[in-house]
Amino acid sequence: MSVDQLILAILALPLLGAFFNGVFGKNLPNVLVGSIATGVMFLSFALAVIVFGSQSEEKIVHLFSLITTKDFSLNARIQVDALSMWMTLIVTGIGALIHLFSMGYMKKDAGYYKFFTYLNLFIFAMLILILGSNYFMLFFGWEGVGICSYLLIGFHYSDVQKGMLNGIAARKAFIMNRIGDLGLLIGLFLILDQFGTLEYSELSAAMLIEANQPTVWVLFTITMCLFIGATGKSAQIPLFTWLPDAMAGPTPVSALIHAATMVTAGIFLVVRSNFFFELAPMTQEIMLYIGLVTSLVAAFIALRQNDIKKVLAYSTVSQLGLMFVALGMGAYTAVIFHVTTHAFFKALLFLGSGSVIHAMSDEQDIRKMGGLKKFIPITHLTFLIGTLAIAGFPFLSGFYSKDEILAHAIMHSSIIYTFLMLSVALTAVYMFRLYFLVFHGNFRGSEETKNHLHESPWNMTIPLLVLAVLSIFGGILNLPGIVFHSCKQWLSHYLNYNTDGLNLVETEHLSNYDSILLMSAAVALTLIILLVSFFYYVKKGKLAKEDSSWKGWEIASGNKLYFDEIYNFLFVKPIEWLAKSSYQFMEIMVLNKSISGLVGAISRSGLIVRKWQSGIIANYLFWMVLGIIGLVVYYLLKF
Amino acid sequence: MDALIVVFLTGLICMFIAMAKKPVYVLITAVVGLMLAIGLLLSQWFNPPLFQLNYEGLEFTKIGILFSSLALLFTFLIIIGGYSYFKKEVEHTGEYISLLLFSSVGAVCMIAFTDLFMFFLGLEILSIPIYVMVGSSKKDLLSAEASLKYFFTGAFSTGILLFGIAWVYGATGSFQLKEIEVAISEGSASGPLLSIGILMIMSASLFKVSAAPFHFWSPDVYQGSPNAVTGYMASVIKLVGMFAFLKLFTVTFGDMYSLWSGALYGLIVLTMFIGNLSAIGQTKFKRLMAYSSIAHAGYALIAIMSQEPGSDWNLWNYMFSYGFSILTLITISIVLDDKEDEFSSYKGIGRKNPFIGFMLVLSLFSLAALPPMAGFFGKFMVFSSAFNDYPMLVIFAIINSGIGVYYYLTFVIAALSKPEDDSLVPVLKPSILQYIVLVICAIALLTAGFFVV
Amino acid sequence: MELLLAPLFVALLLAVVPKQFVRLAGIIGTLVILGITIGHVVTFSPNNVVSVFDPNATTKFGLTFKMGYDGIGLFMVILTNALIPVILLSNFNRSIAHEKSFNAMVLFMQFAMTGLFLAMDGIVFYVFWEMTLIPIFLILLWFGAPERKVILTKFFVYTFVGSLGMLLSLIALSRLTDDFSYESLLAIKLVPKSAFWIMSGFFLAFAIKIPVFPFHTWQPDTYTVAPVAGTMLLSALMLNMALFGMVKWMIPIAPEALNQMKFLIISLGIIGVVYAGVIAIKQQDIKRIFAYASISHVGLITAGIMLFNTEALSAVFLQIANHSLVAIGLFLAAGILENRLNTRDLCQMGGIAKVAPKFAFWFAVTAFASMAVPFTSGFIGEFLLLKGLFSYHWIVGILAGSTLVFGAIYTLRAYQLSMYGAPKTSGFEDLKWNELVAFVLLSAVIVLLGIFPQIVLDFVGPSLDKIVTTIQTSKIQIK
Amino acid sequence: MVLATIFQNGVSIDFYIVLSTILFVIGVVGVMIRRNAIILLMCIELMLNAVNLLMVAFSTYFGKSDGQIFVFFIMVVAAAEATVGLSILVMAYRNIRTTDVGIFNKLKG
Amino acid sequence: MNLETFAIIMGGLTIGSALMVIISKNPVKSVLFLVLTFFFISGNYILMNAQFIAAVNIIVYAGAIMVLFLFVLMLLNLSKENEPKNSVFVKFAALVAGGILFTVLIAALKDGLVIAAATVDQSDSIGLVENLGQILFTKYVLPFEISSVLFIAAMVGAVLLGKREKQLID
């Protein structure tokens, strides 16, 4: 099979799976449904690996033309290059694992077949997003993943207690994404207006020629619009509040969509558009600061969250913020690297938490957990690996990727580096808090729950183990070159021709000495926090505080810095007020009343006119005489 | 001329045949006579008439032939559609029908006149039998009242008309339309005498077509008179009045256009508004028809206002569609035969009797100028002929059409909606004759608009 | 000609069919008509103008009776004729389907609409335009909710008054031309002032029927009291006539006023998009929500028409098709809810997804199509329209784009309040076969057009090109 | 003849125009102020006579006899009208027992 | 006494008796004043050399029509002064309207009368029976004949309305 057909197969397999499960899944046994869904994912992944291995240069596969008008055409095309293939690998790979995990996790769910349909559909949309050769395809997939995300967040919509709430969370996610989408769409229009095409290759080629470059302001607007789109999907300030709420969905969904893949679409967008962003330094600055603030804010909020998934969600937001900081500094390959490792360990963490929740009979509150390491050893182990990875424990994947970003930061500005270090430290703090509270100490849940505690089945633990391995060794992909010179910065090199933009940026690297210095600082920080946490939670046996005993910053953190309330006050309430008042005032009072007023006036004047019709002959004759008088007077006046 | 004689003779014969106390014979005679008359009229379109007299008081132009045959056709439809009413009192059937026939003699005179003698006589022959017919249901108090009102206002307007004729005579020295026209165009007659005379004649003509402020009689009289007579007044008298108006004012007094057009403009606007506004909120069917006929008089007068050539054709089309619509409605009300004439008694009629419902929709929407019914085309032609000179007038008329549709619609809704108690709604059984009338009307309303070549 | 007369013939035929077969006969009849239409579509080449009827006569007032179709006309005809069987089908199990009068009126309406789309003469257009009012009015009157009468009067009078505006414009035009054939009307050269008034007259008629803000107040009320089938006819088919009329008649006849009116109409359209979108957010009545949604969507289409370039107009036709499909789907869903729960109040619904999963799924598909998500027909159309509007002015583009957000808010709200949560009622029956088939057919077309919008574009493109270039070359430059 | 035409003897036509106008207006006023139907009818006759007077005056003034012929027809019509009017009146009287036109106001609005 | 004075006196008397018609409270008096008015008008006709019309006027109007009126008055027993009075306001309004009508008509005439020139020689004979008969039966024979329709219609109508219905006898 040629690459064209393979790539098509990669795309088509999830779709076929979704279609098959969607149509026939209802009447098939769950095992079969799950196996098919998972099977196509693994197959897809395998094909992706083949393509990845065989394809070395950029290739565009033309499928069909969506629209052709005189001015432009929008085509369904696939672009096979390093970036897209790398992302494909992540998506299909992690996707396959999470599918496998879901087979166990969702076992007892009534909507089993639906779940896998949606998941497959999601993978399909995500693949379109990353494989498309133009912004239009990207937008296509972009919206597609939004819907799948919506469907999956609100998956338990008919839950007796939380059905509506799940729905509201899903809606919130969708609408916030839509706001970002609008920004993206406008960016697309601007691009189309300026260049007349949406193809990446044509655009980047056009941008290379100075004469074709639009003015700074236009470029700024374009990039800002794209960035707004990215903030929506990648949960950055101001559009980040949907992501924690999105945890209402089943845990595998959180792992796949809201940690590993979909939320990185914004990152992908910026990396893809590097040829624009490189020439828009102002946007880069904005991106950098927004990323930084997001990272800190999210990390801060995560400190006092008690829902295991919420902690992970804020951690995701924080990590994404980190990535945007890196993007703001133009460190595209570093970001992709971090995306990759983040996908590994965050998926791992989420799946681990899923396993915990599974074991805890759907309890998510960490205050009711504790001491779980005895009961679910595999989960414990893998979760620990994930925690260490995200906290930047030496030689785990997170360590390398985070380090690379930090290295860029210190080259950029030491203040940013400081803040980033703060963010990293906070990450370690809340992650260790989470870990210790869940797995150490005494079990704090009910007896009933305790009796049900059990390790997850094989199809859930295998993905955990695989991801754990990846989390450990993921760093190999892009070693900083201190240890093995031969595979130094492999990923960066691989991605280079996609991401070096206009060849304007020379990717600098710190000297080995500086690198080691930085690394040691980070490692020291992590280790200190690890030790302190260990003493604090395990030795002193501190527990998570009750909400009522929060003080000072804890209140702010626990209440998510009141973002929801502020948004509610600033946007939701005014719009609802506007909706109500414009209905009541404009629609009923002004428009309807003006019509009915007109009608009323007409019929009232009808009543007046009818009064003249008194029924008395003398009056009629009188009117006639008046008519004649009128005519004569008319004559007198006019002639 | 020969048609005139035939109609008159038919009327006479009817009276005598009625002595046999067999209403059917009267009907057959009237039908045959009218058809003969219409045939003779139409044959004049191609050939010279059989009788030719020295006196030229009557002249049948082509448009005159059309108008008079239409008037006779309307009379014909009224007679057969209202037959169920006429035969109720056997001893009067002959009188009813012959009075209508005599009246239609007047109608033809009033269409074909060439001097004011025939105009005046035609007007009176047209009106006097109808004064009687309005009061013909003698036990009915309202009928008597209507008759009295019609008579007094009518006689009063006759006085005004004669006063106007006298002044015009004084100014021009003649009763011949041709001579008057010449006198006016030569300018030898201009002056207050002529102007006031013309305005007086206009007042009387406006009375006949029931335009404001000379319209007051029509709602009362329409309501009070028997249904068939209302139909006759709304169709034939209005048609004839309009044509006489047109003939007098666009031809004879055509050179005084600047005088009467201004006055007519204002009165048309007044008429349309009064007619339509008063019609809103009416609960009596025939009263509604009366107000709508007032409004329609306003629209039709626009044809007379317009100085475009062919306004007589436009008027003919307009009156054609209007007449058939009214005849349909009147026939239905004859079929329903409701003394109270309230809207409420029409509730659900159309739903229970689909054909009647169909005809109701057809005629009411034709009145409201909804295509493809003929009413739309009539209105369209009239309005478009006047738009160039009087855009504002046309806009007023259009606004009024908008108001008008409201009350037609209320009636349609009442007639077509499902009644609460289905058993109360009668199943109507129109006679064969009424079916014929309705079918003729339906064909006319549906197709006429398209064949104005 | 058989294209035009077939519906009338079927309508008459339905009057004599025995009552128990009438609903079947209705569907078969419409399918036959659809077959005839497909025959025309297959033999049609988009560059042509096919004359259907031309007696070569002119009446006294300039009526030429000319009828024919070009790409856009035939597109509208096929859209109408394809959707009417679906509408009949979706109402197949309701009592309304057994009514002769209902079936006959739908067919009669089909006849009138076909005539309208085929009209090549101003008067013929107007005649059919008004003729459509009668069947829909009767359907609403006979089968609507009990409180309908006042609202129906408002609807009828409102739309009628609107069309009087068009009548006035035609009357004004009658002075300037010998006959009303399309070519003669296009050939008229107007001074800008009179062009402005003539276009305003047309716009009044179209704006009320579409409806465009602020002429929309009849619409939510009417949609709520109408029977489901009536709402479908109104929202999916009736307003297409107005949009079609704007493209084919209003602008080509008075293009001199295009630049004057452009700003005004686009503003009204955009205000409608935002205004209706905002209002829909807090409505409790599900039909009302969809009614406002419809106003919002067509506001966008209206604004798009005024851009008057081939690209935007192609998108307009795509959106017309999309809006029709979606409207039928949404109102079918609303009708099912209303029918089985006896309420339209969202607060009294909930949890239906659990008891009626099939319904929930297909309703969701339609709802997503309404939100213009990818793979549905709305996506491309909306994309192109927004792009066009954005090029016109960026503020307009952004405001219009808010439909993405508002659309998501109100559609999802309506969907979730009715479908999500714990079931509040028991015994909610899932989709019947006919409803299922209707949903499947609609969704199939929605997805088909979502992936291959080019078929629509190719179909209408040449005709639109012709219209646009005629105007550009002969009369004015479009700014 | 005893009298040569009056207009050759100093009486202007204006005199008769004014005279007949006065008579006409008296008739009109009478119609408006009286309520007895018979008197109303009489006032209308008075109006017609005013017209007759004017017609004859013009006819004599012009020396054309058609004016007088017209007067003749007016009389014919007046007679017919009076007949019909009185019979309507009698019929109404039978129904309501009054000739007061003010009573006839059941039809209105 | 010249003709002018005579005409003025005649006119004055006509107006006076006409006024009495509308002023008299008793209907019978009104009828009699109307008859008187007709006589005065006939006098005017004679002044204008219209002898035939004068005669016909007296015969038809005073003789026939007014007798009919009187007859009906007596038949309906309306001779008493029982006519209900219009309110003062109505009378006042009617008088004002009449006054205005008169004023505006005269005001219109004040602009200057233009009357068709008396082209024909004002012969004395036009008002005579012979002359009128000649014209009536030649030039105006058609209206003459047509007026028969009028009379028949009026007759039939009068019979139709006047005939007592059987049921109405009480």
pLDDT band (50, 70, 90) for residue E121:
low
Q: What backbone torsions phi and psi does residue A484 show, to the nearest 5 degrees?
A: -105, 110
pLDDT of residue D2: 44
pLDDT of residue B61: 87
Tell me whether residue B51 is exposed, middle or buried, using C-beta atoms within 10 angstroms of its C-beta: 0 to 12, 13 to 18, 19 or more.
exposed
* Predicted confidence (pLDDT) per residue in A510-546, tens digit: 666 777 787 888 888 888 888 888 888 888 777 777 7
pLDDT of residue A489: 65
Which position has the token pair 């499902």?
B418
Query: Do the Cβ atoms of A628 and E101 come within 8 Å?
Result: yes
Cβ-Cβ contacts under 8 Å, E108 against chain A: 632, 635-636
> Closest chain E residue to B89 measured between Cα atoms?
E165
pLDDT > 90? residue C302: yes
E169 touches chain B (CB under 8 A): no
Query: Do the Cβ atoms of C127 and B409 come within 8 Å?
Result: no
Tokens of D16: 């008769």
Residues 6 or more apart in contact with residue A505 via CB below 8 angstroms: A278, A330
Cβ-Cβ contacts under 8 Å, D85 against chain B: 131, 151-152, 155
Say if CB B365 and CB B373 are below 8 A apart.
Answer: yes
Cβ-Cβ contacts under 8 Å, B135 against chain E: 161
Tokens of C94: 């309701």
Rounded to a whole number of angstroms, the distance from the CA of C78 to the nearest CA of chain A is 21
pLDDT of residue A447: 79
Of residues C125 and B48, which shows the higher confidence score?
A: C125
Chains within contact range of chain C (3+ C-beta pairs < 8 Å): A, B
Cβ-Cβ contacts under 8 Å, A126 against chain C: none
E159 touches chain B (CB under 8 A): yes
pLDDT of residue E36: 92
pLDDT > 50? residue D73: yes
A595 touches chain E (CB under 8 A): no
pLDDT of residue A416: 87
Average pLDDT of chain A, as a whole number: 84
pLDDT > 70? residue C33: yes
Out of B58, B128, B171, name the one closest to residue E153 (CB).
B128
Find the range with the poorest average confidence among A23-37, A145-159, E71-85: E71-85
Tell me whether residue A414 is exposed, middle or buried, using C-beta atoms within 10 angstroms of its C-beta: 0 to 12, 13 to 18, 19 or more.
exposed
The rounded distance, in Å, linking the Cα atoms of D53 and E149 is: 26
pLDDT > 60? residue A391: yes
D50 touches chain B (CB under 8 A): yes
> Closest chain C residue to B354 measured between Cα atoms?
C101
Rounded to a whole number of angstroms, the distance from the CA of A588 to the nearest CA of chain B is 22
Cβ-Cβ contacts under 8 Å, A639 against chain B: 195, 259
Which position has the token pair 């070159």?
A481
pLDDT > 70? residue D9: no
pLDDT > 60? residue A617: yes
Of residues A331 and B86, which shows the higher confidence score?
A: B86
Say if CB B63 and CB B313 are below 8 A apart.
Answer: yes
Is the omega angle on the peptide bond into residue B309 within 30 degrees of 0, that is, cis? no
Rounded to a whole number of angstroms, the distance from the CA of B188 to the nearest CA of chain D is 14
pLDDT of residue A56: 67
Tokens of C262: 């452009």
Residue B358: C-alpha distances to residues A235, A630, B329 (Å) = 64, 44, 11
Cβ-Cβ contacts under 8 Å, C380 against chain A: 66-67, 74
Residue C74: C-alpha distances to residues A457, C7, C48, C181 (Å) = 61, 15, 11, 18
- Three-state SS annotation for A207-263: HHCHHHCCCHHHHHHHHHHHHHHHHHHCCCCCCCCHHHHHHHCCHHHHHHHHHHCHH
pLDDT > 70? residue E1: no
User: Which region, left, alpha or beta, applies to residue A371 given φ > 0 means left and ψ of -120 to 50 means alpha?
Assistant: left
> Closest chain C residue to A146 measured between Cα atoms?
C373
Say if CB B234 and CB B77 are below 8 A apart.
Answer: no
Say if CB B130 and CB B233 are below 8 A apart.
Answer: yes
Chains within contact range of chain D (3+ C-beta pairs < 8 Å): A, B, E
Start-to-end Cα distance in chain A: 100
Residue B418 gets which letter from DSSP? P
Tokens of A456: 């997850």
A24 touches chain B (CB under 8 A): no
Out of E90, E101, E108, name the one closest to residue A625 (CB).
E101
Out of A140, A143, A185, name the one closest to residue C386 (CB).
A185
pLDDT band (50, 70, 90) for residue C427:
confident
pLDDT of residue E82: 66
| Mean per-residue pLDDT, E84-89 | 77
* Predicted confidence (pLDDT) per residue in A424-433, tens digit: 888 888 888 8
Mutate to test the interface with B, among E135, E140, E149, E152 (most CBs of B within 10 A): E149
> Along the 453 residues of chain B, how does pLDDT read in single tens digits?
788 889 999 999 998 888 888 889 999 999 999 999 999 888 888 877 766 666 677 888 888 999 999 999 999 999 999 998 888 888 888 889 999 999 999 999 999 999 899 999 999 999 999 999 998 888 888 898 999 999 999 999 999 999 999 999 988 888 999 999 998 888 776 788 888 999 999 999 999 999 988 999 999 999 999 999 999 999 999 999 999 999 999 888 988 898 899 999 999 999 999 999 999 888 888 999 999 999 999 999 999 998 788 888 889 999 999 999 999 999 999 998 887 788 888 888 888 888 999 999 999 999 998 888 889 998 998 998 899 889 999 999 999 999 999 899 988 888 888 777 777 788 888 889 999 999 999 999 998 877 765
Cβ-Cβ contacts under 8 Å, E84 against chain A: none
Rounded to a whole number of angstroms, the distance from the CA of D32 to the nearest CA of chain A is 5
Cβ-Cβ contacts under 8 Å, A580 against chain C: 282
- Contact between chain B and chain D (3 or more Cβ pairs less than 8 Å apart): yes
Out of D69, D85, D96, name the one closest to residue B155 (CB).
D85
| Mean per-residue pLDDT, C293-304 | 93
Cα dihedral across residues C166, C238, C63, B321: positive or negative: negative
How many beta-carbon pairs below 8 A join chains A and E? 25
Tokens of A619: 């009056």
Going by their DSSP bridges, the two strands A59-68 and A73-80 should be labelled as: antiparallel
* Predicted confidence (pLDDT) per residue in E30-69, tens digit: 899 999 999 999 998 988 888 889 999 998 888 888 888 8
Query: Do the Cβ atoms of D104 and A617 come within 8 Å?
Result: yes
D104 touches chain E (CB under 8 A): no
Query: Do the Cβ atoms of B153 and A603 come within 8 Å?
Result: no
| Mean per-residue pLDDT, A476-482 | 67
- Contact between chain D and chain E (3 or more Cβ pairs less than 8 Å apart): yes
Tell me whether residue B30 is exposed, middle or buried, using C-beta atoms within 10 angstroms of its C-beta: 0 to 12, 13 to 18, 19 or more.
buried
Query: Do the Cβ atoms of A621 and D32 come within 8 Å?
Result: yes
| Identity of residue C77 | V
Tokens of A481: 């070159």
Out of B57, B171, B190, name the one closest to residue E143 (CB).
B57
Say if CB A294 and CB A321 are below 8 A apart.
Answer: yes
The rounded distance, in Å, linking the Cα atoms of B278 and A613 is: 9
pLDDT of residue B434: 92
Rounded to a whole number of angstroms, the distance from the CA of D71 to the nearest CA of chain A is 23
Query: Do the Cβ atoms of E142 and B118 come within 8 Å?
Result: yes
Pick one of 1.10.287.3510, 2.40.30.10, 3.40.50.720, 3.40.190.10 as the CATH number of D2-98.
1.10.287.3510
Task: Count Cβ atoms below 10 Å from residue A604 Cβ, excluding itself.
Answer: 13
pLDDT of residue A358: 83
| DSSP notation for E56-78 | HIIIIIIIIIHHHHHHHHHHTT-
* Predicted confidence (pLDDT) per residue in C365-389, tens digit: 999 999 888 888 888 888 889 988 9
pLDDT > 70? residue C477: no
pLDDT > 80? residue E169: no
Rounded to a whole number of angstroms, the distance from the CA of A76 to the nearest CA of chain C is 9
The rounded distance, in Å, linking the Cα atoms of C283 and A583 is: 9
| Mean per-residue pLDDT, C98-116 | 91
Is the omega angle on the peptide bond into residue B372 within 30 degrees of 0, that is, cis? yes
* Predicted confidence (pLDDT) per residue in C248-285, tens digit: 999 999 888 888 889 999 999 999 999 999 999 988 89
The rounded distance, in Å, linking the Cα atoms of B18 and B165 is: 39
ipTM of the complex, rounded to two decimals: 0.91
Out of E108, E156, E167, name the one closest to residue B98 (CB).
E156
How many beta-carbon pairs below 8 A join chains B and D? 125
Out of D25, D42, D62, name the one closest to residue E120 (CB).
D62
Which of C106-109's residues contact partners 24+ apart within 8 Å by CB, and which partners? C106/C26, C106/C135, C106/C139, C106/C229, C106/C233, C107/C7, C107/C8, C107/C10, C107/C11, C107/C14, C107/C26, C107/C29, C107/C30, C108/C7, C108/C8, C108/C11, C108/C134, C108/C135, C109/C135, C109/C136, C109/C139, C109/C233, C109/C237
- Contact between chain B and chain C (3 or more Cβ pairs less than 8 Å apart): yes
Average pLDDT of chain C, as a whole number: 89
